[in-house]
Amino acid sequence: MKQVLVLEDESSIRSFVVINLNRAGYEVLEAETGEQALACLAENPDVKVAVLDIMLPDIDGFEVCRRIRASGSNMGIIMLTARTGEMDKVTGLMTGADDYVTKPFSPTELIARVDALCRRVGGEPTVQRGDMRSGPFLLSTRNRTLEKNGQRIKLTQVEYAIIKMFMENPAIALSRESILAAVWGRDYYGELKIVDVNIRRLRIKIEDDTANPAYITTVWGYGYKWGS
Ligand code: CA
């Protein structure tokens, strides 16, 4: 059974999430504080997705997210954000989260997001094995890693999936909708903006000059393209 960690200090919200994830067939590990969540993840290396509340009594959800990524984990991370503060979303994503859900959320919406991330993280069988090269980049589909000029670039699973899609479609304009559908899944409930946020983060990781991107170029009013 796939394991999901739920970090939420408000017990009513936590049990609401846990009940719904259980119903959807997930084994759920619960944490009330950031430190508890990190300890729990250290003991349970097979957790596929973590759902992290942001406002917590000890360290906040962003810090938990940062520490999870710092440990080298590429598990799926979904932030639970309060309705206030658009910046929360962006900051959360910039620290390595894959997705966010705004409170109040419907169980269907949250489960769809968890399902989508689990599929992405949870080892879909790799049809194509081997390496893909493009300019200074080497993408290993076996190890799901990216190197630029021989230097490893740390990617989240979502970022990896986006780069792979680009490298499979060089010099072809890809619409934001098609990227969203391919990477997050057709049943995804989220907003197109999540594509832009991930592209912005990817550019910081791979471009020489993020102000003048050479690898991921913008196709105005449409989407993005690999190369110019
Ligand atoms: Ca809270």
Distance 117 CA to ligand 1 centre (A): 22
Say if residue 45 is in the same domain as residue 104. Answer: yes
Q: In what helix (H) or strand (E) does residue 195 lie, and over which residues does it extend?
A: helix 193-206
Q: Which of 121, 146, 173 is the last residue of a domain?
A: 121
Say if residue 158 is in the same domain as residue 108. Answer: no
Whether 175 maps to a domain, the answer reads yes
Distance 45 CA to ligand 1 centre (A): 24
Distance 90 CA to ligand 1 centre (A): 18
Find the DSSP H helices in 139-192. Answer: 157-168, 176-184
Tell me what the mean pLDDT of segment 132-143 comes to: 88
Which residue has tokens 């913008």?
A: 218
- Contacts of residue 115, defined as CB under 8 A and 6 or more positions apart, other chains included, come to 24, 185, 187
What are 138-172's pLDDT values in tens digits?
A: 999 888 899 999 899 999 989 999 999 999 888 88
Distance 60 CA to ligand 1 centre (A): 9
Q: What ranges make up the beta strands (E) of the chain?
A: 3-7, 27-31, 49-53, 76-81, 99-102, 131-134, 137-140, 145-148, 151-153, 174-175, 216-219, 223-226
Q: Which of 64, 91, 121 is the last residue of a domain?
A: 121
Distance 127 CA to ligand 1 centre (A): 41
Distance 73 CA to ligand 1 centre (A): 24
Say if residue 178 is in the same domain as residue 149. Answer: yes
Q: Please, which pLDDT band fits residue 108 given cuts at 50, 70 and 90?
A: confident
pLDDT at residue 199, rounded to an integer: 96
pTM of the predicted model as reported, rounded to 2 decimal places: 0.62
Q: Please, which pLDDT band fits residue 86 given cuts at 50, 70 and 90?
A: low
Provide the residue range defining the domain that includes 156. Answer: 131-226
Whether 126 maps to a domain, the answer reads no
Distance 57 CA to ligand 1 centre (A): 8
Decide if pLDDT at 103 tops 80.
Answer: yes
What are 27-82's pLDDT values in tens digits?
A: 999 999 999 999 999 999 899 999 999 989 999 898 999 899 888 888 999 988 87
Number of structural domains in the chain: 2
Decide if pLDDT at 188 tops 80.
Answer: no
Distance 16 CA to ligand 1 centre (A): 14
Whether 79 maps to a domain, the answer reads yes
Say if residue 143 is in the same domain as residue 207. Answer: yes
Taking the alpha carbons at both ends of the chain, their separation in whole angstroms is 44
Distance 223 CA to ligand 1 centre (A): 35
pLDDT at residue 87, rounded to an integer: 58
Decide if pLDDT at 122 tops 70.
Answer: no
Distance 44 CA to ligand 1 centre (A): 23
Distance 85 CA to ligand 1 centre (A): 15
Considering only CA atoms, which of 118, 115, 119 is closest in space to residue 189?
Answer: 115
Say if residue 111 is in the same domain as residue 147. Answer: no
Tell me what the mean pLDDT of segment 1-28 comes to: 94
- Crossing angle, helix 11-23 and helix 107-121, to 10 degrees? 60
Distance 211 CA to ligand 1 centre (A): 36
- Contacts of residue 127, defined as CB under 8 A and 6 or more positions apart, other chains included, come to none
Say if residue 107 is in the same domain as residue 147. Answer: no
What is the amino acid identity at position 189? Y
Whether 169 maps to a domain, the answer reads yes
CB atoms within 10 A of CB 96: 21
Distance 28 CA to ligand 1 centre (A): 18
CATH number of the domain that 180 lies in?
1.10.10.10
Distance 56 CA to ligand 1 centre (A): 5
